[in-house]
Structure 1
Amino acid sequence: MFYLSKIEHKLTLPPSLLALPIGEAIHTELERLFLDKVIANLGLCVSVYDIVSMEGGSIFPGDGAPTYLVVFNLIMFRPFPGEIITGKLVSSDVDGLRLSIGFFDDIYIPTHHMPNPNRYEPENRNKNKGTWFWDYGEEIDSSFSINYTDEIKFQVQSVSYPPIPVEQPKESKPFAPMLVSDKWHFRRKQDRLWRILR
């Protein structure tokens, strides 16, 4: 789930940070540039782990800031296919479920990865939002509604990095630079009942 990635980057240090010790100033600028950003094929940057080396400090003509060549390690979040993670429900719509693991909210369970038999009941006011139900048996009370208090264990199916759109319609969902698609496993918190589905 978490990896160390070694990066080499040419860094221009802003003059406002020059009062700090050089290592602290470079670390601060690296955090500003990379923290909470997605790097394609590496994942989401969670933290700057350490600085391996820094060279340079040259000030080029017409520029008032020193430039360094910095080699450093980043802690990256990148789940692997087959990994099982626990998340909380963020939203439920006709296309499936959207989950969060606290620091990352772009986890989707599409309808074809949900357990069968299932059904979707839209809200009265908004047909795009509603509640999913898992009908696991023939009895009267053999239906689980998927609520916002539930924990959902899911198995990662794929991680993708879609290309950044040039234009995005106003009605569309916010752009997510890293998408995790998964297959769900369900855990209801209240009664501690585990149901693992295949």
Structure 2
Amino acid sequence: MFYLSLIEHTLRLPPHLLDLPLNEAIKGELESLFLDKVIANLGLCISVYDIRSIDGGFVFPGDGASTYTVEFRLVMFRPFVGEIITAKLKESDANGLRLSLGFFDDIYIPVHLMPNPCHCEPNPEKKGQVIWIWDYQEQKFPIDGIDEIRFQVQSVSYPPIPVEQPKESKPFAPMVIMVSSSFELLIFKGSLDYDGLGPVSWW
């Protein structure tokens, strides 16, 4: 789920930071550039792990800032396909579920990857949302957001950044995780559930 990625970056250090220790100033600038940002094919940056090397310090004509070439490692969040993770329910509608890890909210479970058989009912407490219910042996098991939800990662994608977005559209998600609530969906063309997945109270 978490990886260390080695990156080299040419960094401009503003003059007002030059009174700080060099490592501290550069780390602060790297954090402002990379933290909570998605880097395609690497994932979501969680933190600057360490700085391996700092070269340069050149001041170009007409510029009061110094420029450094920095080699550093970032802690990246990038789940792998097949990984099982636990998250909280963020919202639920007729298209499926949206889950959150707290620091990352773009995890989706579409209807065709929900436990089977299941159906949805209007949520009396949240207008416009529904409660998904798994029907198993004449019993009903709701996914109501009280429990954490254990899921399996189906795919991770990095959509291209749109040039324009309508005002009423949802915020752009640069990294989307599609998940499955069933192991079999990765192997078979069925939608049978696998023991241990879904709200933790089910098991």
Q: Fold match, TM over 0.5?
A: yes
- Name the residue aligned to 1:152: 149
Deviation at 1:2, TM superposition (A): 0.6
For 1:41-190, what aligned pairs fall within 5 Å after superposition? 41-123=41-123, 128-138=128-138, 142-184=139-181, 185-188=197-200
> Which piece of structure 1 moves more, 63-72 or 120-129?
120-129
**Inter-partner Cα distance in structure 1 for 2:124 and 2:165:** 28
**Inter-partner Cα distance in structure 1 for 2:124 and 2:11:** 53
SS in 1 for 2:178: strand
The unaligned stretches of length 5 or more in structure 2 are 182-196
- Is the CA contact (8 Å cut-off) linking 1:98 and 1:105 kept in structure 2? yes
- Is the CA contact (8 Å cut-off) linking 1:8 and 1:70 kept in structure 2? yes
SS in 2 for 1:157: strand
What letter matches 2:170 in structure 1?
K
Deviation at 1:122, TM superposition (A): 3.0
The unaligned stretches of length 5 or more in structure 1 are none
Deviation at 1:125, TM superposition (A): 10
- Is the CA contact (8 Å cut-off) linking 1:94 and 1:128 kept in structure 2? no
- Is the CA contact (8 Å cut-off) linking 2:7 and 2:71 kept in structure 1? yes
The alignment's TM-score, normalised by the length of structure 1, stands at 0.90
- 1:76-103, CA deviations, whole angstroms, 9 ceiling, x for partnerless residues? 0000000000000000011110001111
RMSD between aligned alpha carbons? 1.6
- 1:53-86, CA deviations, whole angstroms, 9 ceiling, x for partnerless residues? 0100001112110000000000100000000000
**Inter-partner Cα distance in structure 1 for 2:131 and 2:142:** 7
**Inter-partner Cα distance in structure 1 for 2:103 and 2:168:** 25
- Is the CA contact (8 Å cut-off) linking 2:143 and 2:199 kept in structure 1? no
**Inter-partner Cα distance in structure 1 for 2:177 and 2:55:** 37
